[in-house]
A and B are shown apart, each in its own frame.
Chain A
């Protein structure tokens, strides 16, 4: 489907119009509002109650709890411990994002080249983890990465290592796990973009004398940029907000902002401070999305093939 949902919807509305266009409907239609639109109200009302209002209260709490003012925010910005968590969150998220997209790119590219059978196999390999429990996958990664885990046992038994490589509670473990979990979010938009690229363009470039590698880098890669960009943003947003995976795989050195939020609520009961951290996290997420949506239609990619 090349057109966006919205455009298609508009088109359909224009084509068929409201059923039985009575005069009353026509009057509403002039205000660009009709009876069909009323069907949106239950969901909008519901989301307002359980989503929008709680978020607004969270925002207000960050400025008012325990006292009115900017104390919570200045706490974040002045305490080196919290600054370290913020820096760590962004550094980890950026690294995870880059590694993920670098691994996803050749994989998605190969999906466009593969025979239908192998493409199916690759697609299933992407979709199964996409839809299986994040928690179970993180737990499985613990089983893989432990000192007595699968990777170390296998490496030891084939004689590559004498001592287990410490991965769990280290940055390497967090990276291994987070990339595993975010990989489908990069593969799906990349594949969606690459699939629509006309491969005859490559042939044209080659017939005009470009070597295959030149044709690939100068013709194919630039055309994949919307997909790359969508993948980068989706993975980065995911990575910024993760709680479960870094909490299970990382050590105290790798604390991310999600963990700090939960800790502030569950152990020290500093709701206002946790709210301020959440506002910082949400603000970063929304700013990134706003920037991204200027360049690509994020809505098209957001759902992947979920």
Chain B
């Protein structure tokens, strides 16, 4: 009896917690389609006028383009540095393993306010504030731990005998990497890339330090919008920003499904000539 009661109680707590976790995000989407100029709840009528206003205002588009550019370039940089480092981390022999791992993870731990302030002081001196390059450098540093960790765990579960087989058949180290290793760890590279993209696309604290009137990212525009007034345009742009993140994760999910399907397809159709278990 008491056990059933406890379970019911736990169920109620869980339902409330799910609401608590999801409600704030779900609320933004209906609000952004509000008809009125005030963000009242529930919205009285539906309209797309706030989205229309976003499209009409070139400054929003411009900062969205900046964000997209910074996020894409940072993702590429983080993937290149992260994959190399993961290979070194998993396969290399080197001293101070703990310390080096800690350094690679450090950008996740150090509060973004501190990262932002320290690079701001340096970039101010060398003229990198309000530049795409400056923001890319910082976002790459913030995103790289996610790539490194994802790829490293992919490498740990990858059977290196396949590489040795390729090399014994005459494949050089570079071609082995691109033709054998990379395709095999592609899912974890892709996952790392999605996390890196989202990290940069979303990042506002260091961007507040490093942007200005000459160059602004979307989160910084949202931030200054929210500070001035709570406006349906901000709800619309927030909803759009959420859709971009959602799309990134849907791509991740689709990639995983595709990979599963491919595997199933291959194991069914490839004649098992050499008797290797798929």
A interface residues with partner B (beta carbon < 8 Å): 1, 5-6, 8-9, 12-13, 16, 18-20, 29, 32-44, 46-47, 50-55, 57-58, 61, 103, 106-107, 109-110, 113-114, 121-122, 125-126, 128-129, 131-144, 146, 148-150, 153-154, 180, 183-184, 212-213, 237, 240-244, 248, 258, 261-262, 265, 271, 274-275, 278, 281-282, 285, 289, 299, 302-303, 306
Interface membership of B20, Cβ < 8 A: yes
A281 touching B245, Cβ below 8 Å: no
Residues of B contacting A110 in the complex (Cβ-Cβ under 8 angstroms): 10-11, 13-14
Residues of A contacting B89 in the complex (Cβ-Cβ under 8 angstroms): 9, 40
Interface 9-residue window, one of B182-190, B233-241, B260-268 = B233-241
Residues of A contacting B39 in the complex (Cβ-Cβ under 8 angstroms): 143
B28 touching A302, Cβ below 8 Å: no
A47-B141, A148-B40 given; A262·B95 CB < 8 A:
no
Interface membership of B242, Cβ < 8 A: yes
A103 touching B17, Cβ below 8 Å: yes
User: Please, what's the 1-or-0 string for B26-42, where 1 marks a CB less than 8 Å from any CB in chain A?
Assistant: 01100100000011110
B156 touching A133, Cβ below 8 Å: no
Residues of B contacting A51 in the complex (Cβ-Cβ under 8 angstroms): 106-107, 115, 141
A55 touching B118, Cβ below 8 Å: yes
- Given A37, A136, A213, which contacts B94 in the complex, CB threshold below 8 Å? A37
Q: How far is the CB of A75 from chain B (nearest CB, A)?
A: 17
Category for how many chain B residues contact A: 35 or more
Kindly name the residue among B17, B87, B97, B149 whose own CB sees the greatest number of chain A CB atoms within 10 A: B17
Residues of A contacting B234 in the complex (Cβ-Cβ under 8 angstroms): 139
Q: How far is the CB of A230 from chain B (nearest CB, A)?
A: 13
B18 touching A121, Cβ below 8 Å: yes
Interface membership of B72, Cβ < 8 A: no
B114 touching A55, Cβ below 8 Å: yes
Residue of chain B at shortest CB distance from A212: B3
Q: How far is the CA of A47 from the CA of B93 in the complex (A)?
A: 20
Q: How far is the CA of A279 from the CA of B128 in the complex (A)?
A: 23
Residue of chain A at shortest CB distance from B18: A125
B209 touching A265, Cβ below 8 Å: yes
A258 touching B113, Cβ below 8 Å: yes
B21 touching A183, Cβ below 8 Å: yes
A42-B85, A303-B146 given; A128·B141 CB < 8 A:
no
Q: How far is the CA of A8 from the CA of B258 in the complex (A)?
A: 28
Q: How far is the CA of A265 from the CA of B149 in the complex (A)?
A: 34
Give chain B interface residues in 102-154, CB to chain A under 8 Å.
Answer: 102-115, 117-122, 137-138, 140-141, 144-146, 148-149, 152-153
B23 touching A144, Cβ below 8 Å: yes
Interface membership of B55, Cβ < 8 A: no
For the complex of A and B, the 9 pairs showing the least CB-CB separation, nearest first, are A241-B111, A37-B92, A39-B88, A40-B88, A36-B92, A54-B118, A140-B24, A37-B94, A43-B85
A144 touching B100, Cβ below 8 Å: no
A43-B82, A55-B114, A132-B202 known; 16 other A-B pairs, CB under 8 Å? A9-B89, A34-B92, A40-B89, A47-B144, A54-B121, A55-B118, A129-B25, A131-B195, A132-B25, A132-B242, A143-B39, A144-B23, A150-B27, A153-B41, A299-B101, A303-B146
- Given A37, A132, A154, which contacts B245 in the complex, CB threshold below 8 Å? A132
Interface 9-residue window, one of B45-53, B57-65, B219-227 = B219-227
A244 touching B205, Cβ below 8 Å: yes
B93 touching A36, Cβ below 8 Å: yes
Residues of A contacting B115 in the complex (Cβ-Cβ under 8 angstroms): 51, 54
Residues of B contacting A121 in the complex (Cβ-Cβ under 8 angstroms): 18
Give chain B interface residues in 149-206, CB to chain A under 8 Å.
Answer: 149, 152-153, 156, 160-161, 163-164, 167, 173, 195, 198, 202, 204-205
A47 touching B103, Cβ below 8 Å: yes
Q: How far is the CA of A180 from the CA of B198 in the complex (A)?
A: 20
A262 touching B106, Cβ below 8 Å: no
A139 touching B100, Cβ below 8 Å: no
A34-B93, A37-B88, A122-B14 given; A136·B101 CB < 8 A:
no
- Given A12, A20, A42, A122, which contacts B91 in the complex, CB threshold below 8 Å? A12
A237 touching B82, Cβ below 8 Å: no
Residues of B contacting A142 in the complex (Cβ-Cβ under 8 angstroms): 226, 230
Interface membership of B250, Cβ < 8 A: no
B18 touching A39, Cβ below 8 Å: no
Q: How far is the CB of B271 from chain A (nearest CB, A)?
A: 29
Q: How far is the CB of A102 from chain B (nearest CB, A)?
A: 11
A285 touching B107, Cβ below 8 Å: no
Residue of chain A at shortest CB distance from B160: A16
A281 touching B114, Cβ below 8 Å: yes
A144 touching B25, Cβ below 8 Å: no
Q: How far is the CB of B237 from chain A (nearest CB, A)?
A: 9
Q: How far is the CB of B176 from chain A (nearest CB, A)?
A: 8
A-B contact pairs, 12 of them (CB 8 A): A9-B89, A33-B93, A35-B92, A37-B93, A38-B92, A39-B88, A54-B119, A55-B110, A150-B27, A265-B209, A278-B118, A302-B105
A57-B118, A244-B205, A303-B146 given; A143·B90 CB < 8 A:
no
A128 touching B119, Cβ below 8 Å: no
Interface membership of B81, Cβ < 8 A: yes
A153 touching B92, Cβ below 8 Å: no
A20 touching B25, Cβ below 8 Å: no
Residues of B contacting A137 in the complex (Cβ-Cβ under 8 angstroms): 24-25
Q: How far is the CB of A211 from chain B (nearest CB, A)?
A: 9
